[in-house]
Amino acid sequence: MWEFVNFYLIPGLVLGCIYALGALGITLTFGILRFANFAHGEVMMLGTYLALTMVWLFGLHPLLAALPAMALTALLMLGLDRAFFRPFRSAPTIISVIASFGLMLMIRSAVQVIWGTQPRPILPGVQRPQAWLDGAILLAPKHVWILLATLAIMAAIHLLLTRTRIGKAMRAVADSPELARLTGIPVETVIRATWVVAAATAVAAGVMLAIDTQVETMMGFKMLLPMFAAAILGGIGRPFGAVAGGLVIGVAEELSAYPWLGTAPLLNPAYKSGIAFAIMVAMLVWRPSGLFRGRVL
């Protein structure tokens, strides 16, 4: 039992937290701007490299370095929105989607030119798991940081959306942009706030992933499919659905390698990423609105 918890369930929850944070930005962007932002993974990767630079320059812990990286990435996204997405607000959705795809390639190329393509650790050394509950549970300190930081960020997003004026305006625009505009809600201000929140959660997801693994230029692209799958599973435009979807997909990926029948893994670990795609396709066929009844693609 404890082997199942230590080597499958806990890693699944950690991975699910990373997916959940990434999917939050995707679902907010789609819910308010009405297009799938394929550059979201590269924004996550760029913010992680900015956090890595803060670690190099000032010796900060990665979780502290993530804060200025969030601010810088948010400012950059506001500028990119003005240059790449704002001119297409009234254009067909496919134009914004293609613009996001082009932006994805541009960001990745810029990062590779500036920082290089060599994978780099964001935490020095190797962190060994620590024993909890008289040695029954093995949990690495970095996983504790990831779980606690994710809970704190999700609580902050919940308070933002339910207790603040801008959060309520974001929910109103997500429900009906035209009605929100008629009632006097500044839609462009809401869009800017959405980019800020999406950038912050993307950077958080990237830094968590870097803490768990390492920083590399393809990390955002590799995370894109699971994050979209999590957003679709929970329901596009439903932030808390994205959280639930991320946890489900993260746990499902890890549990797929558990030896449920005999001693061999049920699925070769090399194919775990296919679980996210399978869940996404199944959800689109069975219930396109997702678990929390979001928008239909």
Tokens of 224: 């894109």
Domain ranges of the chain: 2-113+138-286
Q: What is the pTM of this model?
A: 0.93
- SS3 assignment, position 215: strand
Tokens of 144: 């504790």
In order along its 297 residues, the chain shows pLDDT tens digits of: 678 888 888 999 999 999 999 999 999 999 899 899 999 999 999 999 999 999 999 999 999 999 999 999 999 999 999 999 999 988 999 999 999 999 999 999 999 999 999 999 998 866 677 777 766 788 888 899 999 999 999 999 999 999 999 999 998 998 888 888 888 899 999 999 999 999 999 999 999 999 999 999 999 999 999 999 999 988 887 888 899 999 999 999 998 888 887 777 778 777 887 888 888 888 888 888 787 776 655
Choosing among 1.10.3470, 4.10.860, 3.40.190, 1.10.357, the CATH entry for 2-113+138-286 is 1.10.3470
Q: 285-292 contacts: CB < 8 A, separation 24 or more?
A: 289/235, 290/232, 290/233, 290/234, 290/235, 290/236, 290/238, 290/241, 290/245, 291/233, 291/234, 291/235, 291/241, 291/244, 291/245, 292/234, 292/235, 292/238, 292/240, 292/241, 292/244
Asked if residues 192 and 242 have their Cβ atoms less than 8 Å apart, the reply is no
β-pairing, 137-139 vs 130-132, is: antiparallel
CA 219 to chain centre: 12
Residue with tokens 């329901």: 235
